[in-house]
């Protein structure tokens, strides 16, 4: 009888000496810190703890909320947005928006008219000059993507910062979505600012940025109307860091989509710093991600958050409609 099948396997013992009895991060400072060799931050996002605790303690009278990120995003349930809402419900929704920065809803079978009516509860609506509207509601811009018209919104941005008074909020509804893909991500611009070192904050607090529609929409403007559009929509100058009119908190207000340069600098002199600061949106700890279904709705604060639409569904079709609420001129 062969006894080899019953012989225990003898594993080689490593001669590697383990010199530490603690986790490598033990004893490091309890905050995010910049890498010395890369323009990135590593470490625990401890500056989010107070905001996370505040949000988790919130309760609401007219709906329930399930948080999606630690400081950003909540899915609200137990509310129907397709009917006329009382002022008390509207006020509760506005408070939730200020708290969570972006709020989400499922199963809201808006007609175009009801979509506009809901958004109008929160202010006057804008008409976008460079994106086609819904045919019967000019306040609704329609993003209709398919195999021939692909998505280029997959870059972090606030909407319409090229306006003198950019929108303060937006209500986006899914009309048709692919079975997989086409998610939208949102990033907390309070958190992105709060983590910065004091010297970086001091530098940014003094900066102003010049925003221009031409970078994103110039190619869509007929040549014979370009001078007219430039007169109607001149370059807009906004602070790099702004103070929110409702919360009083400071937030980053820079994006690669519409910012051309910093005041007093050329485009070439501005790009490196602009890119470095815009990378703050890439931080997963400051983000939430929403997977769409037909009749899902996202309602976001266009100052406190940036967003990015994943363009990973080609050649499938994705159709969305958005109503944007006119805001005030951003202030330092």
Looking at the annotation, which residues are catalytic? 157, 159, 307, 322
Rounded CA gap, 169 and 322, in Å?
Answer: 10
Neighbours of 249 (CB within 10 A): 16
The DSSP secondary-structure symbol of 93 reads: H
Q: Which of 85, 72, 108, 53 is nearest to 300 (CA)?
A: 72
DSSP letters along 233-290, please?
A: S--EEEESEEE-TTT--EEE---TTTEEEETTS-HHHHHHHHHHHHGGGG-GGGEEEE
Question: What backbone phi and psi angles, to 5 degrees, belong to 203?
Answer: -65, -50
Rounded CA gap, 298 and 67, in Å?
Answer: 14
């Amino acid at each position: 009888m062969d006894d080899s099948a019953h012989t225990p396997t003898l594993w080689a013992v490593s001669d590697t000496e383990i010199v530490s009895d603690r986790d490598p991060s033990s004893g490091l400072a309890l905050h995010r810190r910049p890498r010395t060799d890369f323009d990135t931050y590593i470490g625990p996002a401890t500056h989010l703890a107070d905001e996370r605790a505040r949000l988790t303690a919130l309760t609401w009278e007219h709906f329930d909320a399930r948080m999606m990120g630690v400081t950003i995003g909540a899915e609200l349930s137990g509310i129907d947005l397709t009917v006329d809402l009382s002022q008390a419900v509207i006020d509760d929704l506005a408070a939730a928006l200020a708290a969570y920065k972006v709020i989400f809803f499922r199963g809201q079978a808006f007609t175009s008219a009801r979509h506009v009516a809901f958004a109008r509860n929160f202010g006057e609506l804008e008409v976008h000059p460079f994106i086609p509207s819904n045919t019967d509601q000019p306040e609704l811009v329609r993003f209709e993507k398919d195999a021939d018209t692909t998505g280029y919104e997959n870059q972090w941005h606030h909407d319409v910062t090229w306006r003198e008074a950019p929108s303060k909020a937006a209500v986006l509804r899914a009309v048709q979505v692919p079975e997989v893909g086409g998610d939208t991500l949102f990033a907390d611009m309070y958190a992105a600012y709060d983590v910065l070192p004091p010297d970086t904050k001091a530098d940014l607090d003094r900066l102003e940025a010049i925003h221009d529609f031409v970078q994103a929409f110039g190619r869509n403007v007929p040549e014979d109307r370009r001078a007219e559009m430039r007169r109607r929509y001149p370059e807009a100058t906004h602070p790099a860091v702004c103070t929110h009119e409702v919360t009083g908190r400071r937030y980053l207000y820079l994006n690669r989509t519409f910012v051309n340069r910093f005041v007093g600098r050329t485009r070439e002199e501005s790009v490196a710093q602009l890119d470095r600061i815009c990378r703050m949106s890439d931080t997963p700890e400051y983000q939430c991600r929403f997977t769409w279904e037909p009749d899902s709705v996202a309602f976001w604060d266009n100052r406190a958050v940036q967003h990015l639409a994943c363009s990973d569904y080609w050649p499938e079709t994705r159709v969305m409609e958005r109503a944007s609420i006119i805001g005030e001129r951003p202030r330092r």
